[in-house]
Each structure stands twice: as structure tokens, then as C-alpha cells.
Amino acid sequence: MSFQTTLRRARAPIRAAALASAPRSATFARAAFRRYSTEPEPPKKGNTALYIGLTAAALGVGAYFIYTSDESPLGVKATYVPTREDYQKVYNRIAEIIESASDAGYDDGSYGPVLLRLAWHSSGTYDEQTKTGGSNYATMRFNPESGHGANAGLDVARNLMEGVKKEFPWISYGDLWTLAGVAAIQEMAGPKVPWRPGRVDGFTENCTPDGRLPDAAQGADHVRAIFYRMGFNDQEIVALSGAHALGRCHTNRSGFDGPWTFSPTTVTNDYYKLLFEESWVWRKWNGPKQLQDKKTKSLMMLPTDYVLVQDKSFKKYAKAYADNQDLFFKDFAAAVARLFELGVPTNQFSEEPYTLKSTLD
């Protein structure tokens, strides 16, 4: 049995007892235990390490309640509170991983787009009415959410982040995934996106039902229903959609095919420009309904992208972003920052959002 397993098992009855006696709701009480993820480093192999590990585990049993519980008589929360510099280190590591895609021969030479999609899909499950879903619990780690059709292909991004989690075990998955979304945008020459830590790891029971993420085959009513449920307005819907300047569709993930722009690893307002400037026709192919540009036939738009120039209210904002990249950057950064905090109770944040340094600075 590994040291971590021993420790986890030893902690379990104490955690359970404390939960049972906690005066608040079970979910919140559980969340409070994981304000900061404090998994220890894996021990070195060998007997000495084993003895040290077992002794530490025994001490940990007693100390766990005192040091990591909100119910602690000492009122002390986590043993290790990471600093901004710690988060910058995680950011820098993610930036290296984003770059490593070119050596790996992945897509267009960047893991940025798929990491941004992970951050968005983990946040975009939020329901403002029931206050469920969102980035707080990183429930896409669990079945059934990992198997939801909309999340096809995101195992690539989750696996990449698993390596970072091993290196920085104190970070919660929700913080890690949203930080990766921020790094993706900034490292692909996008705007600075304010971010702050505070998300906690949840459980399978926190998984959201299938159907909370948008279906690309539908129209404006559906897009509004999905994003209004999260609490966004038309302007924010259009700004967020500009993320499709990045990345591409994969036939083995969504069934759709191709990139939206000629520069899928750089944040630009080209997505809006192309929507207005190109002639878009339905592609004749053996796949789901999607549009292609008449001129080069190498770009694509989803039906939900095309509604941005068909719907009067959406079109107004799309035109403004096509005409003004600075405006798009400003509104995109603000909407993404809000997206990544959906579902996180504000009392879990201990500070104001701040910006992390990009390696392009």
C-alpha cells in the first residue's frame, strides 16, 4: 500500500466524523477540507522512507483534524498556503507544455486551444438558478461527465494537466484547469485575463447532467438558453465565441472538421472579420451540417457561429469586434474571467483577481 493510500485511509474516519458533526451543508463542509489541496509528495522508495511514512501517517491522523479543518479548535486551515509566485510557477510550466505540442506533432503546434476548451467546458456547466456546475469542483475528472459527448477529446488536455498536478500537488484541479485556460489565451498572444485561486476539488456526486454545454448544430434560441442559464448576456455570448479564432474541429471528437481561421494558435478578431468578409456556404460532405468559406474551402463555421451574423442583436456586437480588436480583447478578457469563476462561492476566494506574467511579455 502506498504512503498516500495509507494516509488517505487513516484520514477517512476522522474526515467522516468531522463531516457528520459539521453544522453546515455537507457539500460546503467537504469543500472546506480541500481549500488548498495538500497531498504530500510521494515518498522515496526504501524501508527508511516506509518507516518515516508510517510515522508521519500516524501523526497525520491526529494532526489532520487540527490543521486542515475549518472546525479545528485552533482555527488553522491548510498547512501550506501557496503564494502568487507559486501560481506563476505553475503557469510557466503550463506555458512550456503548450509549446511542447510542436515537438509532439500535435495539431497546429500548440496545446493552447484544447486547454482553453477544457477550462471552458469545466466552467460552462454552471446553472445560475440551482448554483450547480461551474469550475469549482472539476467534476469532468469523473464519470459520467468525462464521457459526455461535448467533452470528447478533452482527455488530451486533462492528461497533460495530470503531469502538472503531480509536480504541484497543492493546486486544486479547478484552479489548475482554469489557470491553463488563462495561460492558453495569454501564451497565444491574447489579452491578460485576471485570475485568482480558490476552487476546491469535488466528488462524483457533484457531476452535472449531460446537456448543459451548447450543441453546435442548433440556432440562436439554443445558444441564448445555454448562456443565459450561466448568467451571460448577448454581448458576452458574442465576445466568448471569439475563442473560435483558435483551434479546430476534429471529426473524431465533435464530428465537425477544420479550423475557423488561418491563424488557429493566435488570439485575434479574425473570427468576426471572416464571418463578415467571406461568403459562407454549406459544405457538401458526409458529416454534420457546417459551413465552409467559398473562396478557399479550408475554413469552417459551425451553425452556432453563423447565428452571430444572422441574429440582429448578436450581429451588432460581432460587427463591433470585427472592426475593433482592442474592444474584442477587452470584452473577451472580462467575459472569460467571469466564465472561469462560475460556480465558485466568493467566500472561497481570499483575494482580488490578478494577472500572471506571460512568457511573451
104 in Cβ contact with 163 (< 8 Å):
no
**What 8-state DSSP symbol labels residue 40?**
P
Residue 130: CB atoms within 10 Å:
9
Stretch that binds ligand HEM, among 3-11, 113-121, 140-148, 273-281 (CB under 6 A): 113-121
Please report whether residue 248 would count as binding ligand HEM according to CB under 6 A. Answer: yes
The region of 63-71, 141-149, 189-197, 236-244 touching ligand HEM under the rule CB under 6 A is 236-244
For ligand HEM, the binding residue among 32, 90, 116, 140 (CB under 6 A) is 116
Phi and psi of 248, rounded to 5°?
-155, 165
CA-based nearest residue to 98, from 205, 203, 186, 197: 186
Cell numbers at 220, concatenated: 440562436
Query: What is the residue whose three cell numbers read 515518498?
Result: 43
Q: What whole-number distance in Å separates Cα of residue 305 and Cα of residue 312?
A: 14
Return the range that interacts with ligand HEM (CB under 6 A); candidates 6-14, 48-56, 168-176, 252-260.
252-260
Q: Note the residue count of the chain.
A: 361
| Number of residue whose CB is nearest ligand HEM | 247
Closer Cβ to ligand HEM, 7 or 245, answer by number: 245
For residue 127, the cross-strand partners are 132
Q: Which of 214, 224, 230, 238 binds ligand HEM (CB under 6 A)?
A: 214
Task: Find the shortest distance in angstroms from Cβ 114 to ligand HEM.
Answer: 4
- From 90, 176, 200, 249, residue interacting with ligand HEM (rule: CB under 6 A): 249
Q: Is 229 in the site for ligand HEM (CB under 6 A)?
A: no
Catalytic residue among 120, 170, 195, 260: 260
Which parts of 168-231 fold into alpha helices (H)? 173-187, 220-230
CA-based nearest residue to 227, from 76, 68, 338, 350: 338
Q: Which stretch binds ligand HEM (CB under 6 A): 2-10, 253-261, 268-276, 346-354?
A: 253-261
121 tagged catalytic: yes
Using rule CB under 6 A, residue 161 touches ligand HEM: no
Query: To the nearest whole angstrom, how small is the minimum distance from the Cβ of residue 234 to ligand HEM?
Result: 12
Residue 250 touching ligand HEM (CB under 6 A): yes
Helical pair 155-167 and 112-123, crossing angle rounded to 10 deg: 90
C-alpha cell at 32: 472546506
Residues binding ligand HEM (CB under 6 A):
113-114, 116-117, 120, 153, 214, 216, 223, 240-241, 243-244, 246-250, 253-254, 256, 302, 304, 336
Could you give the residue numbers annotated as active site? 121, 260
